């Protein structure tokens, strides 16, 4: 008897019947004789994508590869089969050896400056003019992405401030692209954004300081946004611990208060928005559905929010969904997630690398 399994259900993006076979861990749209049938698998969606995640980070640092594997498994059991890991002090490439674990697209380590980011998370450059050279190093260490810290609190200024000049950012973008990588930036505030966007970064992480003109420029340049909405809920807690820096404290509170309006404006303008939890550190792993539901709070329909965590980032990252020859990563659901995203919390099947989890 064949080891293949036949699935049939409904595609929530089209409303049309969906039928395919899983054989040797991959999808076949060609019939496989003798396959075991899973009749009426319900609504079937590609495995979810967390476009901002750090399985190599946890409180206290010092994460081992086995611990990272456990964190990835927690994401998997929430339906995430593809992770864009945007910066980690741990090289998580050994996780690629698991054919039934989440698939990864990575940056290397964060690139920052001394005392201008979380200690020991990234590479800290004494000379900011070394940024482009370090971008080339981290491009080689990743899987097509580089991540820099665009802004962080400057204790001398007492508020969020940029880490790099426009010339340094221009050189960084050129270095990333010359080395076959795309480049993104952590940025909370407003001051760093004009130079990051003007330099042609490929995406912005967080982006709470955006305004109408910057949003329009993101659309013109086709720069993506990963807002990490559930991470932004921590801004009041960050502000509560920042009494020594009253300007920074008020800025963080203002950024938190304006976040929904900013991202609603970005959505309306046509900025490409993808779901990312920022899991690792303060945000627990396995919360992708929380992020999907949060996206509906900035004006995305349930179907758009689902796409922002499945089909859309897969196209962006160059990783196919339910297509002939693709790795078999998908969810089967009892109800239509385009109507009720909470059904993603109760999958009938999670299939990763062809194996039912």
pLDDT digits (tens, 9 = 90+) for 239-290: 999 999 999 999 999 999 999 999 999 999 999 999 999 999 899 999 999 9
CB 309 within 8 A of CB 292: yes
| Same domain? 231 vs 206 | yes
Question: Left, alpha or beta for 180 (phi > 0: left; psi -120 to 50: alpha)?
Answer: left
Q: Cα–Cα–Cα angle for 141, 147, 148, nearest 5°?
A: 125
| Same domain? 241 vs 331 | no
- The lowest-confidence range among 31-40, 205-214, 262-271 is 31-40
Query: Residue 148 belongs to what domain range?
Result: 48-317
pLDDT digit string (tens) for 146-174? 999 999 999 999 999 999 999 999 999 99
| Same domain? 288 vs 335 | no
pLDDT band at 342 (very low <50, low <70, confident <90, very high): very high
* HSE-up (13 A, CA, CB side) for residue 211: 7
pTM of the entire predicted model = 0.97
| Same domain? 98 vs 217 | yes
CATH number of the domain encompassing residue 23: 2.30.40.10
| Same domain? 260 vs 291 | yes
| Same domain? 325 vs 342 | yes
Three-class DSSP category at 244: coil
| Same domain? 148 vs 33 | no
Question: Left, alpha or beta for 24 (phi > 0: left; psi -120 to 50: alpha)?
Answer: left
Contact partners, residue 193, CB within 8 Å, separation at least 6? 150, 187, 204, 207, 209, 210, 214
CA distance readout (Å), 109 to 32, 209, 217: 44, 24, 28
| Same domain? 304 vs 230 | yes
| Same domain? 215 vs 76 | yes
| Same domain? 146 vs 21 | no
CATH number of the domain encompassing residue 168: 3.20.20.140
User: Measured between alpha carbons, how far is 80 from 76 in angstroms, rounded to an integer?
Assistant: 5
| Same domain? 12 vs 89 | no
Domain count, the chain: 2
pLDDT digit string (tens) for 221-241? 999 999 999 999 999 999 999
CA distance readout (Å), 107 to 71, 153, 265, 355: 18, 23, 28, 27
């Amino acid at each position: 008897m064949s080891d293949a399994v036949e699935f049939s259900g409904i595609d929530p993006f089209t409303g049309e019947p969906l039928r395919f076979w899983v054989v040797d861990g991959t999808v076949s749209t060609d019939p496989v004789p003798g396959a075991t049938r899973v009749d009426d698998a319900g609504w079937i969606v590609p495995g979810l994508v967390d476009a901002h995640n750090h399985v190599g980070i946890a409180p206290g640092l010092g994460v081992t590869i086995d611990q990272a594997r456990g964190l990835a498994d927690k994401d998997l059991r929430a339906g995430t089969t593809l992770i864009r890991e945007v910066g980690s002090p741990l090289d998580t490439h050994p996780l690629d050896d698991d054919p039934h674990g989440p698939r990864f697209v990575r940056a290397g380590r964060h690139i920052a400056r001394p005392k201008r980011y979380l200690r020991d998370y990234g590479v800290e450059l004494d000379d900011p003019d070394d940024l482009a050279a370090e971008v080339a190093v981290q491009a080689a260490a990743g899987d097509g992405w580089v991540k820099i810290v665009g802004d962080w609190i400057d204790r001398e200024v007492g508020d969020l401030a940029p880490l790099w000049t426009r010339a340094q950012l221009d050189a960084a973008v050129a270095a990333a692209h010359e080395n076959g990588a795309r480049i993104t930036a952590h940025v909370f505030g407003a001051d760093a954004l004009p130079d990051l966007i003007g330099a042609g970064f490929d995406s912005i992480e967080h982006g709470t300081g955006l305004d109408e003109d910057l949003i329009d420029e993101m659309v013109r340049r086709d720069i993506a946004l990963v807002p990490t909405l559930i991470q932004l809920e921590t801004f009041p807690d960050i502000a509560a611990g920042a009494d020594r820096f009253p300007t920074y404290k008020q800025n963080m509170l203002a950024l938190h208060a304006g976040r929904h309006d900013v991202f609603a404006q970005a959505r309306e303008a046509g900025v490409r928005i993808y779901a990312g939890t920022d899991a690792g550190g303060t945000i627990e792993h396995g919360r992708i559905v929380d992020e999907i539901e949060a996206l509906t709070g900035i004006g995305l329909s349930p179907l758009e929010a689902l796409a922002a965590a499945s089909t859309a980032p897969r196209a962006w990252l160059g990783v196919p969904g339910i297509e002939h020859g693709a790795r078999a990563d998908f969810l089967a659901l009892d109800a239509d997630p385009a109507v009720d995203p909470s059904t993603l919390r109760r999958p009938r099947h999670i299939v990763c690398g062809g194996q039912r989890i």
